[in-house]
Amino acid sequence: MNSQKRVNITIGSLVKVVQKADQRSGKLTEGVVSKILTNSPTHPHGIKVMLENGVVGRVKEIL
């Protein structure tokens, strides 16, 4: 699924995100979406979400 489209991401989805600090290394963090922070329907770098553990990042993979 395309992680650049907001419609593909729902609260409770299992995703992998890249945090701001990890953008250069590309390290992904896995978790469950608790909030969708991007308001626009699409974003070229991925939709920004908050995971249940408080991590904020852009979705790179939807599992």
Annotated domain spans of the chain: 6-62
**What is the pLDDT, as a whole number, of residue 1?**
78
How large is the average pLDDT for residues 4-19?
Answer: 96
Work out the angle at residue 63's Cα, subtended by the Cα atoms of residues 40 and 9, and round it to the nearest 5 degrees. 20
Give the β-pairing of 56-62 and 14-18: antiparallel
| Percent helix, strand and coil across the chain, each to the nearest 5 | 10, 45, 50
Q: How many percent of the chain have pLDDT more than 90?
A: 97
Q: Are strands 48-51 and 56-62 parallel, antiparallel or unpaired?
A: antiparallel
How far apart CA 45 and CA 63 sit, in angstroms, is: 18
* Rounded Cα distance, 43 and 3, in Å: 9
Q: Which fold has domain 6-62?
A: SH3 type barrels. (2.30.30)
Q: What is the pLDDT of residues 16-46, one digit of tens each?
A: 999 999 999 999 999 999 999 999 999 999 9
